[in-house]
Amino acid sequence: MREVKYAQLSDLEPIVAIDQQVIGHANRRGEIEKAIRNQACLVIKEGKATGFLLFNTQFFENAFVSLIIIAPEERRKGYASSLLKYFEKNSPTEKIFSSTNQSNIEMQKVFQKNGYTPSGMIENLDPGDPELIYFKYKKNQ
Q: Calculate the alpha carbon distances from 134 to 14, 98, 102 in Å.
A: 28, 5, 12
This prediction has a pTM of 0.94
pLDDT tens digits, one per residue of 23-33? 989 899 999 99
The CATH code of the domain that includes 91 is: 3.40.630.30
What domain range is 118 assigned to? 2-137
Domains in the chain, number: 1
Q: What's the pLDDT band for 140 if we cut at 50, 70, 90?
A: low
pLDDT tens digits, one per residue of 40-98? 999 999 999 999 999 999 999 999 999 999 999 999 999 999 999 999 999 999 999 99
Determine the average pLDDT of the residues in 8-20: 97
48: helix, strand or coil? strand
